[in-house]
Amino acid sequence: MVTPREIPWADLRAGARAASERAYAPYSAVRVGACGLTEDGHVVTGSNVENASYGLTLCAECSLVSDLVRSGGGRLVAVSVVAGDGEPLAPCGRCRQLLYEHGGPDLWLDGGEGAPPRALAALLPDAFGPEDLADRSRR
């Protein structure tokens, strides 16, 4: 398991800030960017993409997961998500689940300058994940 000290947080936060500049957020004006690192060293990014039908908005983390899969996949080990003020943002509930699928409970999330990184397990305890489908299905 990767320790938070091994994560290049400043680089990830810079990537998230750059991605937030690419957000499409004409309705909320909350421009969110996300940047993640995979186990094998790939960097993926995402920005929020809003829609006139508000509920169809795609969060930055959703966009990051698309980038991850499109660029070859892999396991996420760390993610930084920032809002338009450049400071880390705690992912919304839906995005915690999206990130769980590709990083699991040990995925580290940026806490910002003054706060320690947090494992996804702390933000999404008792998560439902891919392993539950195998364990709980009956055909």
In the complex, the residues that contact ligand THU under the rule CB under 6 A are 25, 28, 30, 32, 48, 50, 57, 59-61, 91-92, 95
For residue 32, give the nearest of 41, 23, 40 by alpha carbon: 23
Nearer to ligand THU among residue 56 and residue 133 (C-beta): 56
Smallest gap from Cβ 96 to ligand THU, in A, equals: 8
Under 8 Å between Cβ of 22 and 50: no
Nearer to ligand THU among residue 32 and residue 78 (C-beta): 32
Under 8 Å between Cβ of 102 and 75: yes
Smallest gap from Cβ 11 to ligand THU, in A, equals: 20
Smallest gap from Cβ 57 to ligand THU, in A, equals: 5
Smallest gap from Cβ 115 to ligand THU, in A, equals: 17
CA distances from 51 to 21, 56, 67, 81 (A): 17, 6, 19, 20
For residue 78, give the nearest of 116, 30, 128, 131 by alpha carbon: 116
Nearer to ligand THU among residue 27 and residue 128 (C-beta): 27
SS3 category, 99: helix
Nearer to ligand THU among residue 41 and residue 125 (C-beta): 125
72 Cα distance to chain centroid: 17
The catalytic position among 61, 87, 113, 131 is: 61
| 61 part of the active site | yes
Known catalytic residues are: 61
